[in-house]
Chains A and B, each alone.
Chain A
Amino acid sequence: MCGICGCGQPEQKHSHHHDHHHEHSHNHDDSERLIKVEQDLLSKNNAYAEQNRAYFKKNNIFTLNLVSSPGAGKTTLLVETINALKDQLAIAVIEGDQQTEHDADRIRATGIPALQINTGRACHLDAHGIGHAVMELDVKPNSFLAIENVGNLVCPSSFDLGEAHKVVVLSVTEGDDKPLKYPDMFYAADLMLLNKIDLLPYVDFDVERCIKYAKQVNPDIEIIQLSATKGSQLSDWTDWLKAQLKTQP
């Protein structure tokens, strides 16, 4: 039995859809009637997200939802972050990809527990799947949980997973106008990590323009520039992370 949603299905990957019809034996008036619903399309997901958030708060688990387009360097960033912090705090990782265990394998190689969710045809992680993954992974209290979402700058922006913050990773090889092209994600994120800055001499990427565009979409977004592979300014990010962990209620 699932400890979070009570859906009775222990496995982390299932659709939770009830395809059977519910027949009612009540007396029905066969005439048409109007029912006011006024309910958010995402209300199911949001309810699961709030359950996750309550669980994280109760167990003092600081959770980030990492989002980006494919190839922005999320997994490399996580591996380097883990290597920098694993002696100081407990870390766990949930990996989301359409297929393969590759990313979870890379995380496990650092000695950190990781669970891979294969979303199949879905282009994002959802809060229900995260609830099950947290149970299966047995995420320890007083820890940092990183959720690496499916590489996609559109769909994951809508799905609250119960995280403290969405962190959007943008690499300088992608183009400085991504915040304007995919505004939903930059609007939803609290922090933008501008990655692969070691490649700036070789690409036509205007950092100032990119920051201007990101602030245009989201005036409150924080921005850290770094290179995960070369380690440049990685400490700006790990310091941010440690400061967040300290200020957790």
Chain B
Amino acid sequence: MHEISLLENVREILLEHAQSQHFNQVKKITLEIGALSCVEPDALRFGFDVVMKDSLAENAELFLTEVAGMGICDLCDKQVSMETLHDPCIACGHPFVTVTQGYEMKIKDLIVI
């Protein structure tokens, strides 16, 4: 359940932004989660209310957007979609594809008051 630790990081980041950008409450938070990252969206949703309780994001709405996995084939150089880190190239079947997108997990934006 490292999702809890990730959410605790989110809570700290929110506090920093609250101080620098002067807000008291987060109404909505949008996270971008890559399809190849080791984050389980359901676990994030599960832990969100618990971790944000008594913080400025208590009762905030959590919105998750998934970023598709993409990579460049090491052999045919085509850009291909990936569902797991070890997917072979869907164009030529070569086993090694370098991930270019889908490994990220970030706070995209907030709606605050």
Which residues of A does B touch, CB under 8 Å? 15-19, 21-24, 26, 28, 30-45, 121-124, 126, 154-155, 157-159, 179-180, 183-184, 187, 213, 215-217, 219
Distance A123 CA – B40 CA, assembled complex (angstroms):
15
Asked if B27 is at the interface of the complex by the 8 Å CB criterion, the answer is yes
| Contact present for B31 and A18 (CB under 8 Å) | no
- Pair B108/A37 contact, Cβ less than 8 Å: yes
Contact A187:B23 (CB < 8 A) given known A44-B12, A122-B5, A219-B74: no
With A42-B6, A158-B2 in contact, is A17–B12 under 8 Å at CB? yes
Q: Are B13 and A44 in contact (CB under 8 A)?
A: yes
- Besides A41-B31, A124-B5, A219-B74, 6 new A-B residue pairs in contact (Cβ under 8 A), listed by A number: A17-B8, A40-B104, A40-B106, A41-B107, A155-B5, A158-B6
Q: How far is the CA of A224 from the CA of B102 in the complex (A)?
A: 30
Known contacts A30-B113, A184-B38; is-contact A217 B85 (Cβ 8 Å):
yes
Contact (Cβ within 8 A) A33 B107: no
Least CB distance, A225 to chain B, in whole angstroms: 21
Whether the Cβ atoms of A28 and B22 lie closer than 8 Å is yes
Residue pair A180, B86 in contact (C-beta under 8 Å): yes
Contact with A along B20-37 (1 / 0, CB 8 A): 011110010001000001
Q: How far is the CB of A219 from chain B (nearest CB, A)?
A: 5
Q: A37-B17, A38-B108, A184-B38 are in contact. Are A124 and B86 (CB under 8 A)?
A: no
CB distance from A133 to the nearest CB of B (A): 17
The dominant DSSP class at the B interface is mixed
Q: Which of B57-75 contact A (CB under 8 A)?
A: 74
Beyond A24-B22, A154-B2, A216-B95, whether A38 also contacts B107 by CB under 8 A is: yes
CB-CB nearest in chain B for A21: B56
- Count of interface residues, chain B, beta-carbon cutoff 8 Å: 44
Complex-state Cα separation, A37 to B84, whole angstroms = 27
Q: Determine whether the beta carbon of B109 is less than 8 Å from that of A183.
A: no
B5 touches A39 (CB 8 A): no
Q: How far does the alpha carbon of A158 sit from the alpha carbon of B6 in the complex, in Å?
A: 10
Query: In this assembly, does B42 line the interface, its C-beta being within 8 Å of a C-beta of chain A?
Result: no
Cβ of A105 to closest chain B Cβ, rounded Å: 27
| Contact in complex: B113, A32 (CB < 8 Å) | yes
**Cβ contacts under 8 Å, B56 to chain A:** 21
A45 CB to nearest B CB, Å: 6
CB distance from B78 to the nearest CB of A (A): 17
Q: Is the CB of A28 within 8 A of B9?
A: no
In contact, B9 and A42 (Cβ under 8 angstroms): yes
3 closest Cβ contacts across the A-B interface?
A155-B2, A183-B85, A184-B38
State how many angstroms separate the Cβ of B76 from the closest Cβ of chain A.
Answer: 15
Task: Say yes or no: is B79 at the interface (Cβ < 8 Å to chain A).
Answer: no
Q: Which residues of A contact B113 (CB under 8 A)?
A: 28, 30-33
Contact A19 B55, beta carbon cutoff 8 Å: yes
- Chain B nearest CB from A9 CB (Å) reads 15
* Cβ of B110 to closest chain A Cβ, rounded Å: 5
Q: Is the CB of B5 within 8 A of A35?
A: no
Report chain B residues within 8 Å CB of A21. Answer: 24, 55-56
